Structure 1
């Protein structure tokens, strides 16, 4: 199943023609019993630093989307130092434009799909719809 998810992430990167794609999943930390969100599957990464990111619900892009159950988008992120501190994946991968959607199954967030560009891009409604469709396609894997 792991290979199938990674293959799907790679396919999403190609289909949407983006620089970076990541899927965040959550686990319960045994010591603190808190939910921890991590970027488990990625394509287009420039380094392995994403593996060290641990988000709480409500923190970072993954945590915000997880808490709200809604999409998230931002652009010109590298010019916003306060955003870079709050959104570590954008800093580590030098992303300028990001779009993220929850992967929902029966109304419950099971994951967060993030796509991004390393340059500033205008995000169209068609692109937002395409990313949301890709997030919906992932629910069969989770």
Structure 2
């Protein structure tokens, strides 16, 4: 680490190992880092430049434990990105059955449309996610 005092090297290594944002921690599935953010009472639903929240990243990366922790800590299941996609849209499109069920359990809406008017069911249908389609329709999603 070129020219730095030896006592600073462990500090720099620790910085390199620590996610810089809650978004990164969620996407990487770093449960410990997410818990540290939560302990500091940081906002749960900050949006990045695309409007994606940490919950959206956790769902997209299939980080089930992180997504559940965020939801259990009161992350907003209705938050949408810049194209109107909610966490349920992401989970439905990617075929994340366990997350679809958990999002529905915490109150996510099966009828919430995105900016193109697509519901989570429409997104699941476009992506041929048959198991998710069954879950959504069993929770009242309309074709």
Q: TM-score range by the shorter chain?
A: under 0.3
Higher relative contact order (CA closer than 8 Å, sequence separation 6+): 1
TM-score, structure 1 normalization: 0.23
Greater percentage in strand: 1
Q: Which has the larger radius of gyration?
A: 2
TM-score (norm: length of structure 2): 0.23
